[in-house]
Amino acid sequence: MLRLSVVNLLLVGILLLNLFMLGTSRIRALIHAAALQGVVLGAMPLLVGESSSWNGGLIAVATVVLKGRLIPQILRRALREAQIKREVEPLIGFVPTMLIGAAGTLLSIGFASGLPLAPEHRELLIVPAALSTVVTGFLLLTTRIKAITQVVGYLVLENGIFIFGLLLVEAMPFLVEVGVLLDLFVGIFVVSIIVHHINREFASLDTRLLSSLKE
Amino acid sequence: MLLVCLIALPILAAGLSAAFASERHRPLVLPVAAVAHLVLTLVAINASSSSVIGGWLALDPPGRLVLLLLSVLFALCAFYAVGYLRHRRELSNRVFVPCLLLFLSTTTLVTCSQHLGLMWVAVEASTLATAPLIYFNRTPRSIEATWKYLLVGSVGIALALLGSFFLAYASLGENSSLLFSDLFARAQHMSRSWLQAAFVLLVVGYGTKMGLAPMHTWKPDAYGEAPGVVGALLAGGLTNCAFLAIVRVFRICQAAGEGEYAAGLLVGFGLFSIAVAAVFMVGQRDFKRMLAYSSVEHMGLLVLGMGLGGSGIFASLLHMLNNGLTKVALFLSAANIHRAFDSKSIDDVRGAMRRVPLSGTIFLFGFFAITGSPPFGPFISEFLIVSRAFAADRYLVAGGVLLLLLVIFMGMGRTVMAMVQGTTSPAGERTSYHDGLLTGVPVALSLALVLLLGLHIPVPLENLLREAARFLETGP
Amino acid sequence: MTQGVTPLIHFVVLLVLPPLLLGVVNKTKAWFAGRKGPPLLQPYFDLVRLFRKEMVFSETTTWVFRSGPLVTLSGVVLAGALLPFGAFDAPVQFTGDLVLFASLMALGRFFTAAAALDTGSAFEGMGAAREVSFACLAEVALFTGFVVLVRFSGSLSLTPMLHAPMYLPLQGMSAAALFLVALAFFVVLLTESSRVPIDDPNTHLELTMIHEVMVLDHSGPLLGLVLYSAAIKMFLLSAAILHLALPFTLGVSPFDWFVFVAGVLAMAVGIGVVESSMARLRLRNVPSLLVASAVLCVIGFVLIL
Amino acid sequence: MIPSSLAIELASALCIAFSGAPGLLRRSGATGQAIATALNGAGSALGLAGLYLLARSGEPETALIGLLPVGRVSFALDALSALFLIPILVISALGSIYGSSYWRQREHPANGRGLRFWWGIMTASMMAVVLADDAVLFLVAWEVMALAAFFLICTEDEQPEVRRASWIYLVATHAGTLCLIAFFSLLGHAQGSFSLWPRLPDEAPSWLPTALFALGITGFGFKAGLIPLHVWLPGAHANAPSHVSALLSGVLLKVGIYGVVRVCGLLAAPPAWWGGVLIGLGVLSGVLGIALAMAQQDVKRLLAYSSIENIGIVVIGVGLASLGRSLGLAELVTLGLGGALFHVLSHSLMKPLLFLSAGSLLHATGTRQISALGGLARTMPKTFALFAVGALAICGLPPLNGFVSELLLFVGLLRAAVLDGASDWAWVALAAPALALIGALAAATFVKVMGIAFSGAARTQAAARAHDPGLGMLAPMFALASGCILIGLVPDIAIALLRGALATWGPRRTAATPSLEALVSLNWISAGGVLLIAGAVLIAAAFRRRLSQHPTVVTWDCGYAAPTPRMQYVDSSFSDTLVGLFHWVVRSRQTPVKLAGPFPVATRFQITVPDAALDHIVLPLLRGADRSLSRLRVLQRGPVQMYLLYVLFAVVALLLVAR
């Protein structure tokens, strides 16, 4: 019982992080929030899964290292190279995005309530948290101008999906988990390389410059 | 074990080519690897379905089909690529060549992975492997294209992952695994609402890779800026892998008794994609982007045929082959024309048939083929799809498709005619490009294959198709 | 009188009588104008004179110019063989001969117009243009009339078709229909034989002429042939209308012949009266007149539908 | 085992198909040209021999040769297909002979070889179309034919005008093909197989035949050039090489008619209104077609429009026949279909004749503008004589072949007014006056061409220097002309060819279909023709001395003694009155002439005749669609955020639907 409430508390924390990420205007803070989210996620499987196995532990460690250390590092490097103003530039203001995010959260809670859950998951906030995080990721992706903030958005999106993955700790085989993590890492890596090139080519990370290909 | 070799071989080749020092000889790895892969593929397809690693790797009938197509396409493109890279001495190919090979390996993995999660990993990997290919030209435009491709593609794939989780959750139960065979077996017991949500997410996710509207937006940019050979591989190979993924999930939905709903979704996506393609093909001045939209259109036809069921399934599988081969012919000849005029806008390109007779002619006939004119292959499959729509009493669908096909024909034709007909424009005089053996023969060969498929389908191939169709027709 | 002789008389009438009609018309017009006018037989004298003359050709002309009058004459004579005169059957009759009849007329027109253009003269070109243009509409009127007659008589051959009014009962409807047809045919007659109000045969201003201007360059026998065929054409159409105007037979052939000739001449007088009592229409009003006559026939057809 | 005459047909088709191939191999195509002509001629001869064999046996033949991915490669040769094979074979052979001197390899090194190659392919594919016994095979052959025609039309694609014409043709034919795809899908769905030209099962739903009729008439109408589906026709005919125009107009349109006839044959007793609709369409095409032709100043465009008119006449006949079938009146069937098919035959003689002579005219003077010619009757008398024959024939004037078919149709239409069985449909007899109008307008049109282009004095140097072409071009024209005269004087020859086709098409209810001879006495027609000529000759003989030797003067021009060629009447003023009557459809544009001051400067006056359907309906429509579509293009405006939003919307919307 206690464990469940702890998990739920963590999930609420994640929801708060989402709102924070939507609200903050500092890129660095954004990156840190995402990293924090990653760490929490990494820890969670140990709490959710009844039988904590070797693999589970391994995955947890890998996740924490990856999401909490490596990826933020990469992003920070990109940020440093870019030498851009440290502000997040939104297409629509922070407050509106936060409101939309909140609305998204409510919507996802409503949606989740309609989905039949296994008895052991009924009490958990997992599905709403996952969906609202996904929505948050989408919001970051669609309403932020700088390329790097979009990368963070993508990261958050992935986090949301990971949260949902908590429901399947048993079902998901080790290999797949590893593969997913690997893909995520390589993905972020390649993206940041492209970000690097963008910065070199356009001397800025403003995606508004990236709209010469159109009808 | 064969399958493992199939996947491992290109990786080894990639490593080898990366190790290669000389820019001139590195491309030669491609044809060697491709031919070897083709040979192995032929063996694997004829071999009785042997599953490896606890059934994670196996070739189901549609998988064989896609694998065959993939391997043939890659072989054609590999030879072409050697010739192509000779014309692009100014650019280094030490990323390009290995990535091509990685692309081959990852897509092969998609075709023979029987595990929901593994398949996702493979698709995502193929996305990452192709990104550097699109960025080959190193121009601002190509960066932009790559950026959009990566972002939209990865988001789509992420949704697919969510969908896979949903599906997994829907099938949650004692000793449940994510092998397609098990999912198929447990289909009846899945929870409907999870399944529906899962299917939506998976179709949107893999549909993004496939290029179904409205998730197609990355396509014109990527195909437009990537080298023609990459465009050919994406349009003919990668999209079909995504289609394969959707088909596998669709099969499970059918088994779960959600076939009605899923089919409806597919038909809707199909029609919408064709319509969107029609809108953007009219008055298109960039012929590579035009080809991209044509690819959107044909992805629409594929899912449409799948959704119509019955003989439509066979038709759509056949159309997958036809479209893939025709796209290769179109993209490669377009690339040659691009080389010859050093422009991909019809403002500069005139009289291609006089400037590069072979490529110009192939491009023209490729246009006739892709718009469903006999005696080329696509006519047969498109005719089957339409007549299936009539047979299923979906008269509005059939009529709509025919109307859209006319619009597309007009839009595409105006561009193509402007390119190939008339006297050569000054832009054509400046360059020194001429169709060579390596840049000409593979293109002609692919068109010849399309023609062959229109007149006669070899018996083994037909058996493969029928087998795959039967495999997919298993409704509730 | 035995059957064998009738065709003979038919051809004699066909070849001899037509010029007389022209004479009658001119006489009538003169009488109306209060003049004495040329003798009735003047047309014959003219023809004889023309046939004796030499011919002069424009240097631009070719065989078309020469063959025009020949084909025209041969055409109208052949057409004459298809048409029944009065109570008597035509020498030649077969299903659809009415089509041949009309086409022969058209053939003549085609050659006349071609011959006119062959001279390369602007005036003759103008005349040819008017001729063919108005003929198109006259053709329609003629055929619509035929449709009515076919419907009425149930036969597709001129002789039984035109004789039907003699035998079939004329109820109100069909009588009205036939009257309309007769009216329309009269307009066709005026057009085809280029009479007022469509055309004025003896104006002397080329710009206003239709038929006359086409034959400016014909001389001698060719001109004679042209005039002669025009007369025959006029005679044939009058004869056709006569079937609708006087649909009865006395049963005794000499009297019938007398009635026929008298009727045709009366028709000529009628034409004369029209010519001298009316002014020529302006050229661009002619089409509406012809269309109107076609419409009359359509109405007639609807009446007996 | 393939039956004999069918096998021969297929052999000849193959022979013709590859007649142009050898020429492709060698760079200097001079020998290739000879080979192509020889093979083409040989193939045609072979084919005609096969038809003769078929006529001897009289049994329809079928053969299954192989399988396509869908459908079968199976052919059937019955009287109807045989009838349509005749013009294909004849015109193709004559055309290639003509072409070998009209389109010499030496003078056209760039496109000569391609032209001959596609010529062979097109002929063979047309044969395949009329022989096909399977829907898919039919479609394949049909489309190959269409594409071959496209390549023939854009032979000189360096000229923008040619490119435009060929493009419009391509779109039109593709639209037609799509209709046919729908048509054959429905047909196959209705009868469960793709075997062709079945009698539809009676239990078919009532809407099905209607749908099939609509689709079929539209699809085949595009090819046949029925108004308003004729949009591609004038441009294509005008801009193709002349012998190609001859092939298009003489044969390709007829293949469309073949389809229409087959469609009407789908039901044993079609609804009566089919006939009505067809007759209406026919009258429309006929009258408007010839009205538009009348207004043209380009001789080849004029001929093209006149083809539309003739197709209209044919369709009137088909409609009458279909009406006869539904009313069970064998007489109407015989007369209608007989007239239609006879007209198909005779038009495929006279229209190629006209196009070929127009070709030699173009070859000699280098212009298609009627008003730029003149005086050719004396500079190229042989061509003029041949053209005159064609003109007389196409106006339906005795004693030539055009007259016979129109006579049959007239009789048929008039019979409809009197037959008891047709009392409700008596009004179709009003098509007879329309037919008369068509004939008269045609006469006016062709008098214009003869008179302005050939007669009078030469208006330009080119016309003055023109001369008759060589035997290579004259011989085919002569053959066609003699064909016209022969069939005109002795119609029985052609009737004999029709007999089989008519027998296959009679209505089921009545037992025996009466023969044409029983309904119309052909002897009188022959006699009439002979008498007519004899009469003219006799009269000529009477004045032969004065006709032969006579003084010549300048044309009488009302006392104006020095007429110049420029003063001659021109075509547009000639046709002004009639065009004025059709102002509601033929809207000719005139460039206004401004004359100012006592001594106005030289100015130009020009009349252009846009096509009624193409320039006033279709193109504006397409432009509008183009504009509205391009408005939607903002959806792809570049920012990747927008694209991601699309994905989000798609997911959310679908998830909400799914719940």
User: Which among B115, C208, B360 is positioned nearest to D157, based on CA atoms?
Assistant: B360
- Enumerate residues 449 to 468 of chain B having a beta carbon within 8 A of any beta carbon in chain D: 453-457
C206/D378 Cβ within 8 A:
no
CA distance B117 to chain A (A): 6
* Contact predicate B236/B328, CB 8 Å: yes
Q: Are A22 and A84 in contact (CB under 8 A)?
A: no
- pLDDT tens digits, residue range D11-41? 999 999 999 888 888 766 688 889 999 999 9
Calpha distance D425→D337 (Å, rounded) = 17
Chain B residues within 8 A of D633 when measuring between CB atoms: 279-280
3-class SS of residue A144: strand
Residue with tokens 């034959």: C215
Residue stretches of chain D with pLDDT short of 70: 1, 27-29, 202, 506-512, 561-562, 659
A50 CB-near residues (< 8 Å, 6+ apart): none
Q: Do D640 and A210 touch (CB under 8 A)?
A: yes
D654 touches chain B (CB under 8 A): yes
Query: CA D237 to CA D232: how far, in whole Å?
Result: 9
The DSSP code for A88 is: -
Residue A129 belongs to a domain: no
Confidence of residue A85 (pLDDT cuts 50, 70, 90): low
pLDDT of residue A50: 60
Task: Give the chain B residue whose CA is nearest to the CA of D143.
Answer: B374
Å between B41 CA and nearest CA of chain A: 25
Mutant choice from B421, B423, B462 vs D, greatest count of D C-beta within 10 A: B421
Q: Which residues of chain C have pLDDT under 70?
A: 1-3, 204, 206
Residue C168 is predicted with a pLDDT of: 85
The partner residue sitting opposite D640, judged by closest CB among B152, B215, B398, is B152
Q: Where are the domains of chain B?
A: 2-472
**A128 found inside a domain:** no
Specify the amino acid at residue B140: P
Q: What is the pLDDT of residues B32-60, one digit of tens each?
A: 999 999 999 999 888 876 667 678 888 88
Set of chain C residues whose Cβ sits within 8 Å of the Cβ of D444: 132-133, 135-136
Q: Which residue has the higher pLDDT, A179 or A21?
A: A21
Q: How many CB atoms lie within 10 A of CB D62?
A: 15
d(C-alpha D497, C-alpha D486), whole Å: 14
User: Could you tell me the CA-to-CA distances from C265 to A26, A172, C202, C272 in Å, in that order?
Assistant: 115, 115, 20, 10
How far is it, in rounded angstroms, from Cα C35 to Cα C29?
8
Spans of all domains in chain D: 268-510+519-545, 614-658
D444 touching B (Cβ < 8 Å): no
Q: What value does the mean pLDDT take over residues A104-126?
A: 84
Among chain B residues, the shortest Cα distance to D162 is held by B422
* Chain-chain contact of A211 with D637 (C-beta, under 8 angstroms): yes
Residues in A whose CB is inside 8 Å of some CB of D read: 91, 111, 114, 138, 141-144, 150, 207-208, 210-215
Query: Angle of helix B29-46 relative to helix B96-112, nearest 10 degrees?
Result: 10
Strand partners, D195: D134
Q: Name, in order, each residue with C-beta under 8 angstroms of B377's C-beta and a sequence gap of 6 or more.
A: B318, B321, B322, B325, B326, B369, B450, B451, B452, B453, B454, D69
> Is the CB of residue D53 less than 8 Å from the CB of residue D40?
no
Residue A215 lies in a domain: no
**Contact map slice: B 244-263 vs D, CB within 8 A:** 261
Centre a 10 Å sphere on the Cβ of residue B272 and count the other Cβ atoms it contains: 18
CA distance linking residue B125 with residue D248, whole number of Å:
56
Helix (H, G, I), strand (E, B) or coil at C264: helix
Q: List pLDDT tens digits, range D218-239.
A: 999 999 999 889 999 999 999 9
Sign of CA dihedral B70, B71, B76, B80: positive
Which regions in chain B score pLDDT beneath 70? 49-51, 53, 174-175, 474-476
pLDDT of residue D37: 93
Tens of pLDDT, residue by residue over C69-106, are 999 999 999 999 999 998 899 999 999 999 999 999 99
Distance CA A186, CA D310 (A): 72
SS3 of D380-398: the string is CHHHHHHHHHHHHHHCCCC
Beta bridge partners, D134, equal D195
Residue of D nearest to B269 (CA): D650
φ, ψ for residue D490, nearest 5 deg = -125, 75
pLDDT of residue D514: 78
Q: What percent of chain D has pLDDT over 90?
A: 60
Within 8 A of B455 by CB-CB distance, chain D residues are: 68-69
DSSP E strands: which ranges in D376-522? none
- Among residues D312, D332, D343, the alpha carbon closest in space to that of D487 is found at D343
pTM of the model: 0.94
pLDDT at B412: 94
What torsion do the CA atoms of C179, C185, C189, C192 make, to the nearest 10 degrees?
A: 170
Mean pLDDT across chain D, nearest whole number? 90
Residue in D503, D501, D517 with CA at minimum distance from that of residue D84: D501
Alpha-carbon torsion, ordered B282, D635, B350, D234, to 10 deg: 20
What letter would DSSP give residue A119? G
Range of the domain at A32: 2-117+134-209
* CB neighbour list of residue A114: distance below 8 Å, 6 or more residues apart: B193, D659
**D495-538 pLDDT tens trace:** 888 888 888 776 554 556 778 888 888 889 999 999 999 999 99
Smallest CA-to-CA distance from D296 within D358, D384, D378 is with D358
Q: Which of 31-90 (B) contact D at CB < 8 A?
A: none
Instruction: Name the domain count of chain A.
Output: 1
**pLDDT confidence of residue B476:** 40
Chains C and B touch (3+ CB pairs under 8 A): no
| Euclidean distance between CA atoms D440 and C137, whole angstroms | 8
ipTM: 0.92
Cβ-based neighbour number of residue B438 at 10 Å: 18
Residue C294: the pLDDT is 94
Distance from CA of C119 to the nearest CA of D (A): 5
